[in-house]
Structure 1
Amino acid sequence: MFSPFDSILAFKTAIYFFLRSLLKGFLRRATGLCELQRLCYANNIGAKRTKGVEKSILLSRCPVLKRINTQLDALAEADELANNWSTVEEAVEATMVAKQINKSIHEAFIQPYRICLVQIYGYRQLIVRLDQIRGIAFDHNNEVHLVLLKNLWKLLCPDTELEGMISKQWTDIGFQGQDPSTDFRGMGLLSLENLVFFATVYTDHARNILSHSLHPIHGYPFAAVGINITHMALSLIKAGYLKTHLYNVESRIYTVEDFHKIYSYLFASFDKLWIRSKPNSVMEFSHIRDKFEAAVVKKLQFEDAVFRWDPYLETI
């Protein structure tokens, strides 16, 4: 049964689409270009253009664009986008036919539009990949998992020999107990891969942050916080906030490594905020974490926002 609120919302939606249709028709007649062309011609490569194209496709009532969205979304969900480039090319061709775009006159439209499609559905595919890794539970009987965990210790504590996979030593790098695998339950193998990537690619910086975390007053559990940063980063990408950064920096299908780099930036940035905040205890973690996440979201609301970090120049 519909409520008065539902009726008002439906009315506003109908008005919105009616006015949108009128405006699109007017601009088409005035410029001789469809909305997708105007978006691709008016903006350089980046978030502003791709977000505009994404919105245009999602709101379009054109059957061809609806079919394109369904087909490419299905490929992204199946993690098969890279194996089906022909579908992307077919989508470009079908769009030009449906929107009556003359290829010989508007050849400059093709590459920007193609890039937008790759970014839009590549972003969706990345979420699928990340969820798959997050769903893998740490297994003490899996040698690959054990090697990852051992490498994390070696990278962070090269001068200290690990006594065993179940050891109180794990608390020295911020795990909550003697068995680090219990900390991975929420974020699965993704959180371990994030930590290992950070410690492998930015070894000196990771060790430096570990030393910050061991401060007797202002310290925090390094590994536990790192796992929490994984949760934050995954939430940000699923909410769409990270489109701004990724659409601005890469015009290809996104990889898990792109997510690892974002994670590294976030971890290093959070550490900086923690140091500046000088909390009296780790009990202030939730407050500082929420403050940090709000600042990240605010930054990403600017269409030209990117995460730039050179750990050697400290330019976070």
Structure 2
Amino acid sequence: MWRGNDRPEASQGFVSTEVLRAQEEWEAVDNIQPETGSQVNSGEPGQLISFSEALQHFQTVDLSSFKERIQPTIRRTGLAALRHCLFGPPKLHQGLCEERDLVLTIAQCGLDNQDPVHGRVLQTIYKKLTGSRFDCALHGDHWEDLGFQGANPATDLRGAGFLALLHLLYLVMDSKTLLMAQEIFCLSQHHIQQFPFCLMSVNITRIAIQALREECLSRECNRQQKVIPVVNHFYAATFLHLAHVWRTQQKTISDSGFVLKDLEALAKKSPRRLLKTLDTYLARASKGQASLLGAQKCSGPQDPHSKDLTFTGVCDLPSHSPKGTRLI
């Protein structure tokens, strides 16, 4: 198979039958994953999909079976309910409840590789993070290079569903946050501080889901009269804060569980603070100024031993573990 600069070209005005045949094979290579040679399940090979287009897909398909599973808000009883009523955040405006429920419903949907839109979302994430022009197989070791735990991204979406992939899509397809996504992805490949980028992102989505259900984002949603843009912005802001802490405090994969636990507490307590920090970052980035992550040298492919390290996420962290304990 021809790859990269190996593409055959005509020489000295003479084109042989073999060269023409090789050129035809090259033109057909777009839908083949180079390592495995498996056919890509993509409705429109090579075409990126925007966040709004992917969201529209979920707004038009029947999600009733998934919507039955959601719990829009946390159920509180007794003193906890009274405290929340007196001192908690405001309730979400009634007119925004349908949009909130859509977010939570998407979080119940799994990844369906037979759905062309699902496949295009995966392909877009892969291309924007790696810079590849080619489609790739929807199963394969290349997903581990992006920070999934295995060859099938669907197995890592527990607790966040397809919303986790929509958040990644938002991060890489919004021109304002693409640089940030690339910086965090670069940090995730550091030879000492590496972490599974996509798996970390799934955990950030879990935090966003819980913050929404606990009404921590209601004040901002009510102010903007929107839910989805606020949740997206909150996800990005939380991911940015995690990356800043990870780099400046020299965190490693063994710190992941408690870093995420502390991040979850901060995100729920001070969402507005995180959102303002993101706004500051985006304003500086638009002017070409140094980012909040600081100078960070990419190390290229992860160390071969990095995939053997155990990542501890929010859902995997025992609540009774002493603070400061490192889980590996």
TM normalised by structure 1 equals: 0.57
- Following superposition, the deviation at residue 210 of structure 1 comes to 0.2
- Which of residues 237, 258, 261 in structure 1 aligns to 2:233? 261
Determine whether 1:274 maps to 2:246: yes
- Following superposition, the deviation at residue 161 of structure 1 comes to 4.2
- Following superposition, the deviation at residue 242 of structure 1 comes to 1.3
Deviations 1:179-235 (A, max 9, x none): 112112432111100111011112221111100001111111000000010000000
Following superposition of structure 1 onto structure 2, how do residues 25-36 of structure 1 map, counting pairs within 5 Å? Answer: none
Determine whether 1:145 maps to 2:102: no
Deviations 1:6-33 (A, max 9, x none): xxx79xx8xxxxxx9xxxxxxxxxxxxx
Q: Say if 2:107 and 2:161, in contact at 8 Å, map to a contact too.
A: yes
Q: Say if 2:112 and 2:118, in contact at 8 Å, map to a contact too.
A: yes
Q: Which amino acid aligns with 2:239?
A: F
Larger radius of gyration: 1
- Which of residues 128, 137, 157 in structure 2 aligns to 1:155? 128
**1:306 & 1:195 partners in 2: Cα distance?**
18
Q: Which runs of 5+ in 1 are unaligned?
A: 1-8, 14-19, 21-47, 55-118
Q: Say if 1:173 and 1:222, in contact at 8 Å, map to a contact too.
A: yes
TM normalised by structure 2 equals: 0.55
Determine whether 1:296 maps to 2:267: yes
Q: Say if 1:183 and 1:224, in contact at 8 Å, map to a contact too.
A: yes
**1:294 & 1:246 partners in 2: Cα distance?**
19
Q: Say if 1:162 and 1:169, in contact at 8 Å, map to a contact too.
A: no
- Following superposition, the deviation at residue 167 of structure 1 comes to 1.3
- Which of residues 206, 212, 235 in structure 2 aligns to 1:231? 206
Determine whether 1:167 maps to 2:140: yes
Moved more, 160-169 or 198-207: 160-169
Matched pairs, number: 200
Q: Which amino acid aligns with 1:164?
A: A
**1:194 & 1:232 partners in 2: Cα distance?**
12
Residue identity over aligned pairs, in percent, reads: 21
- Residue of structure 2 equivalent to 1:307: 275
Q: Which amino acid aligns with 1:245?
A: E
- Residue of structure 2 equivalent to 1:121: 94
Deviations 1:229-273 (A, max 9, x none): 00000001101111233334x1x2x24233212211111121111
Q: Which runs of 5+ in 2 are unaligned?
A: 1-77, 285-290, 294-328
Q: CA RMSD in A?
A: 2.8
Deviations 1:160-181 (A, max 9, x none): 7454111111111101111112
**1:278 & 1:209 partners in 2: Cα distance?**
14
Q: Say if 1:273 and 1:292, in contact at 8 Å, map to a contact too.
A: no
